[in-house]
């Protein structure tokens, strides 16, 4: 297992994020781990949820976050974990619905059980986590919920129809929840990453040929990194984005 690096000097300092209680789902690796590290570098009180206990514990130890072993597809366990965090901290200020799974699948092989599994992994937990924290945020009159979608649905990327459909649904969920919660001062936004170079992507699919194809398709010829997404999440979690809700924020180097 690779080591975990921790950002110690953030590019921007959001003073209002200091001591904010932040929950990151799927925080054990990739973009999620970058989110944990970025908010910890701001002085936030970060809790990460993941079913990978080994990697989750490593990220938590390296960053000073709190790890909670949780299978996000078990909604009862998810609700209980979030309730325990809110009880211990007295609040949850920022929810980063990051967890997802982009396993490839051929159209002709998809059966109802697998289809539902794609939604359980990529959509369902995002709604129920938002539902779980919404009451406390409403009572306090503030809060930020951030979804994580993907440009794959915008491009109609083949070979992952369950994933792209679920990621498109997150945009609709964002728009509706922003209206449901906006009158109480709670903001709901969506980050839409492009082809981010995570360890998982590099191991499974990002060959050098695929990398060149991605770079040629982007407006910016850069290898997108998890930190690029984390920088946007910091903005959306802070009061610097106080006028933003119901919106999509592309972090895709112009590929869409």
pLDDT over 90 (residue 253): yes
Residue 89: inside a domain: yes
pLDDT in tens, 209-221: 989 999 999 999 9
pLDDT over 50 (residue 73): yes
List active site positions: 163
Residue 128: inside a domain: yes
pLDDT over 90 (residue 140): yes
Please state, rounded to an integer, the average pLDDT across all residues of the chain: 94
pLDDT in tens, 108-130: 999 999 999 999 999 999 999 99
Residue 160: inside a domain: yes
What is the band of 9 on the pLDDT scale with cuts at 50, 70, 90? low
End-to-end CA distance of the chain: 33
Residue 34: inside a domain: yes
Cα separation, 125 vs 134, in Å, equals 14
Q: pTM for the full model?
A: 0.93
For CA atoms 138, 139, 142, 144, give the dihedral sign: negative
Residue 20: inside a domain: yes
Total domains in the chain come to: 1
Residue 236: inside a domain: yes
Residue 7: inside a domain: no
What is the band of 198 on the pLDDT scale with cuts at 50, 70, 90? confident
Window from 76-85, 139-148, 210-219 with minimum mean pLDDT: 210-219
pLDDT in tens, 149-174: 999 998 888 888 999 999 999 999 99
Residue 105: inside a domain: yes
Which domain CATH number covers 227? 3.40.50.720
Range of the structural domain that residue 131 is part of: 16-251
């Amino acid at each position: 297992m690779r080591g975990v690096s921790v950002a110690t000097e953030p590019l921007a300092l959001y003073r209002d994020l200091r001591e904010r209680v932040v929950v990151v789902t799927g925080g054990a690796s990739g973009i999620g781990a970058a989110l944990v590290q970025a908010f910890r570098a701001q002085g936030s009180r970060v809790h990460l949820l993941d079913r990978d206990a080994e990697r989750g514990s490593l990220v938590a130890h390296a960053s000073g976050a709190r790890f909670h072993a949780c299978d996000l597809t078990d909604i009862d366990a998810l609700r209980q974990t979030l309730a325990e965090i809110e009880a211990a901290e007295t609040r949850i200020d920022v929810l980063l619905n990051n967890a997802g799974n982009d396993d490839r699948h051929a159209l002709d092989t998809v059966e109802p059980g697998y289809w539902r599994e794609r939604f359980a992994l990529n959509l369902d937990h995002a709604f129920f986590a938002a539902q779980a924290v919404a009451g406390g945020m409403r009572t306090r009159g503030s809060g930020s919920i951030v979804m994580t979608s993907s440009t794959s649905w915008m491009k109609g990327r083949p070979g992952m129809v369950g994933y792209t459909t679920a990621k498109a649904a997150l945009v609709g969920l964002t728009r509706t929840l922003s209206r449901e919660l906006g009158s109480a001062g709670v903001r709901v936004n969506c980050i839409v990453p492009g082809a981010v170079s995570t360890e998982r992507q590099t191991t499974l699919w990002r060959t050098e040929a695929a990398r060149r194809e991605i770079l040629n398709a982007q407006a910016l010829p850069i290898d997108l990194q998890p930190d690029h997404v984390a920088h946007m999440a910091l903005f959306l979690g802070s009061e610097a984005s106080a006028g933003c809700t119901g919106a999509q924020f592309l972090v895709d180097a112009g590929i869409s």
